[in-house]
């Protein structure tokens, strides 16, 4: 390995850390869960309330909200990657099921007010 390799690796790692810290700083705890299918909003759910949400008309995914954490419990796609994604609770965190184009995203109430104003 040469000197520039280390510089390059250092820069990439630094970017990753900055990115991660910036993102965490930007996020706070969220209060609502927004489910989007194909870019269109499907529904908004309260994160503090324990519930099970069936997503999609044919029930392509099932989302469980329990003790302030949201996670996917069922998906009809072949890879089922979203089932292995970590449960989410912070603002802007998300679970994504690409085959079904489902995005589950946590938002804070304050921000959704801004969103309404921005619209």
Binding site for another protein (CB under 8 A): 1-5, 8-9, 12-13, 15-17, 19-20, 23, 36, 39, 81-82, 84-86, 92-94, 96, 98-99, 101, 103, 105
Query: Burial code of 61-80, b = ≥16 C-beta within 10 A, e = fewer?
Result: bbbebeeeebbbebbeeeee
- Closest separation in Å from C-beta 30 to another protein: 12
∠80-61-74 over CA atoms, to 5°? 55
Closer by beta carbon to another protein, 68 or else 85: 85
- Closest separation in Å from C-beta 46 to another protein: 19
């Amino acid at each position: 390995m040469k000197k520039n390799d280390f510089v390059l690796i250092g820069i990439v790692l630094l970017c990753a850390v900055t990115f991660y810290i910036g993102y965490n700083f930007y996020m706070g705890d969220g209060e609502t869960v927004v489910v989007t299918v194909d870019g269109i909003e499907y529904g908004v759910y309260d994160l503090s309330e324990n519930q099970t949400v069936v997503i999609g008309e044919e029930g392509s995914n099932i989302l469980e909200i329990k003790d302030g954490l949201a996670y996917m419990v069922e998906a009809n796609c072949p890879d089922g990657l979203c089932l292995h994604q970590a449960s989410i609770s912070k603002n802007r965190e998300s679970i994504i099921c690409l085959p079904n184009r489902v995005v589950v995203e946590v938002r804070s109430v304050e921000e959704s007010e801004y969103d309404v104003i921005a619209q």
